[in-house]
Amino acid sequence: MGQIAQRGNGARRTVVVATVALLTLASLSLLAWTRLAGAPPIAPDSTATLDGMSIEIRKTEWAVLNHVDNGQGGYLMPDQMMPGAPTGNEVRLGLGVTLTNTRADTQGFSLVDEFWISGGLEPEPKPLSADTIGDLSRLGPGTALQGTLYFDVEVPDGEDPTIPPLYLEWDRGGNAIRIPVQLPGEVPEHSGH
């Protein structure tokens, strides 16, 4: 009787190991296929909905960070005095957004894990640099919040039709989409920080 129980446990272990191996292989295949499938689709306008949440880009603006007024005309701060500020030829782009929970239950989100900026002169998607939403990570049923997502980007001089447009990339629940970003006009002067 003891040998029969041991054989049964060994067979179950084999089935469990085989199932785990098969699921691991399937998930790795899906990940590889997603990477090879190319860029996510482009939203037709400034709104998108993914996995129970929607976002709308309401406005774009340049965040001017290189001048601090000291009451007597101000001064330009060097990079080392402004940790986290854009460096080199980068400027900070703010995207005013409305994030809405479209479901009847509470939805969690992570700005840092879900949003990037891509296109333009950026060879790779760039992560979020800052935001005005803070530590909020959940929205109740049917609720919305407004805030600004900031990204440090290098912007071309003039309009060059060979440079791709900028996109807000959103990846949520394994689904992804790119939302076109309209630049807010003339780039602010940028002469060090």
Average pLDDT over every residue of 128-135 = 95
Q: Does the pLDDT at position 33 exceed 50?
A: no
The DSSP 8-state label assigned to residue 35 in this structure reads H
Nearest one of 107, 96, 95, 102 to 167, comparing CA atoms: 95
108 vs 140: CA distance, rounded Å? 9
- Mean pLDDT taken over the chain: 81
Q: Which residue shows structure tokens 């840092």?
A: 112
95 - beta bridge partners? 60, 149
* pLDDT of amino acid 62: 92
107 three-state secondary structure:
strand
CA 27, distance to chain mean position in Å, is: 22
CA–CA separation, 189 and 185 (whole Å): 12
- Give burial (CB, 10 Å; 0-12/13-18/19+) of 18: exposed
pTM: 0.71
C-alpha–C-alpha distance, residues 26 and 18, integer Å: 12
Q: Cβ(91)–Cβ(121) under 8 Å?
A: no
> What digits encode the pLDDT tens for the residues 76-89?
555 555 556 777 77
Strand, coil or helix: 129: coil
Q: In what order do the strands lie in the sheet with 144-154?
A: 47-50, 53-63, 90-101, 144-154, 130-131
Q: What pLDDT, in 10s, does the model give residues 93-127?
A: 999 999 999 999 999 999 999 999 999 888 899 99
Q: How far is CA 48 from CA 59, 63, 110, 139, 189, in A?
A: 15, 24, 16, 17, 32
- Give the C-alpha separation, 34 to 38, whole Å: 7
pLDDT at 25 over 90: no
Residue range 51-74, pLDDT digits in tens: 999 999 999 999 876 544 445 555
Contact indicator for 60, 184 with CB cutoff of 8 Å: yes
